[in-house]
Amino acid sequence: MIRAFVMEAGRLREVADLSEAPDRVVWADLLQPTKEEEAQIERWTGINVPTREEMEEIEISSRLYSEDGAHFMTALLPALVDDVNHVMGPVTFVLTRHRLVTIRYHEPRAFRTFPLRASKADTQCSDGRSILIALLETLIDRLADLLERASREVVSISHDVFHPTEKKASKRDINFQIILRRIGRKEEFISNVQDSLVTLQRLSGFLAHVSLQEETSKEERDRIKTLSRDVSSLTDHATALTQKITFLLDATLGMINIEQNAIIKIVSVAAVVFLPPTLIASIYGMNFESMPELSWKLGYPLAIAAMVVAAVLPFWWFKRRGWL
């Protein structure tokens, strides 16, 4: 699918077809393009549209390069499938003359919100370069929102780890299993956001270099520098969240170990408490004829009393030592 946009009175307007006003179109957005759509863009711009396999290359030289007067920049961007799951995918931005071409195979939210906002308000866009800068600003704002949401969820996980609401150990164990899954999902998400920020940081550096070579306006160069600083600050924030996630993982495993040790301690104390009475009962349960205690009238109550004393003494000792 190709979405084509033109500028009218400082605002972005979508046209029905690229061929409707090819000379006026400043941004063409390709979503899961077909071979025919790629060929149409290549005829319109005179560039070779990168394939999906080329977009997924990890080498910097394959993601950031200039060719035939066009500048190709690829970044990894997240897109939410639903409230929990997300998908990561490459998005390629191509600057050629005064036009912008974007190629993608998934749906980051900024590609829906930015055209709507740019169609209703003046976003200071006049050509492909200014549209790219404004679009990158929207993408970075979106990543900041995702990190802010992740930060709130990390705080919620921390509260559940250190302030469990369940009193029963069995239910706490189930809750800790759920928490471990939440921590795993959150670590995966933040790690993907970090990967996205790394690619955006490289992209902003490449764009700054291109802007110096082509002598763009000072305002646009300043906006690109601001983009780079914003990405750096978000990267630091994501690193801090990663460290906190690691701490929560260690804390959760520690809490699980404490619960298990408490159960083992109770079982061990019970075994030690009942061991002496069991020994006494075992001795007087033997069927030997030469056991003088068998003929005592008070033998049974004395054996019971001995077993009770043998059980109470270890229990008292453990309580005194603070082991219970």
- Is 190 in contact with 238 (CB distance < 8 Å)? yes
pLDDT in tens, 225-263: 999 999 999 999 999 999 999 999 998 888 888 777 877
12-49 burial by CB neighbour count: b if 16+ within 10 A, else e? beeeeebeeeeeebbbbbbeebeeebbebbeebbebeb
Give the span between the Cα atoms of 125 and 102, in whole angstroms.
16
Say which residue the tokens 């250190």 belong to: 162
Res 238: pLDDT: 93
Say whether 8 sits in a helix, a strand or coil: strand
Confidence label for 144 from pLDDT (cuts 50, 70 and 90):
very high
Chain centroid to CA 257: 26
Give the span between the Cα atoms of 200 and 194, in whole angstroms.
10
> What are phi and psi for residue 17, nearest 5 degrees?
-150, 145
Chain centroid to CA 51: 28
Res 141: pLDDT: 92
- Is 249 in contact with 215 (CB distance < 8 Å)? no
- Is 83 in contact with 96 (CB distance < 8 Å)? no
- Mean pLDDT, to the nearest integer, of 164-168? 74
pLDDT in tens, 2-16: 888 888 877 888 888
Confidence label for 170 from pLDDT (cuts 50, 70 and 90):
low
Sign of torsion, CA 276 281 286 290?
A: positive
- Is 51 in contact with 176 (CB distance < 8 Å)? no
Give the span between the Cα atoms of 168 and 269, in whole angstroms.
20
Rg (CA), the chain: 34
**Tokens of residue 302, six digits:** 């004395």
More confident residue, 291 or 114: 114
Give the span between the Cα atoms of 26 and 94, in whole angstroms.
12
User: Domains (ranges, CATH) in the chain?
Assistant: 2-259 (3.30.460.20), 261-321 (1.20.58.340)
Concatenated DSSP letters for 49-60?
PPPHHHHT--SH
Residue 25, amino acid: V
**Tokens of residue 16, six digits:** 């029905």
- Residue 294, C-beta contacts closer than 8 angstroms, at least 6 positions apart: none
Sign of torsion, CA 97 98 101 107?
A: positive
Judge whether residue 323 has pLDDT over 70. no
pLDDT in tens, 253-308: 888 887 778 778 777 777 877 888 888 788 777 777 777 777 777 777 878 888 88
pLDDT in tens, 79-109: 876 656 788 899 999 988 788 999 999 889 8
What does the CA dihedral 52, 56, 57, 61 come to, rounded to 10 degrees? 80
Res 244: pLDDT: 93
Give the span between the Cα atoms of 92 and 30, in whole angstroms.
10
Say which residue the tokens 């809750």 belong to: 175
Res 82: pLDDT: 62
The burial of 56, by beta-carbon neighbours within 10 Å (0-12 exposed, 13-18 middle, 19 or more buried), is given as middle
Q: How many residues does the chain have?
A: 324
- Is 130 in contact with 106 (CB distance < 8 Å)? no
pLDDT in tens, 20-79: 777 788 888 899 988 888 888 888 888 888 888 888 887 777 788 888 888 999 999 988
pTM strictly above 0.75: yes
- Mean pLDDT, to the nearest integer, of 144-173? 84
Say whether 80 sits in a helix, a strand or coil: strand
- Pick the closest to residue 132 from 71, 64, 202 (CA basis): 71
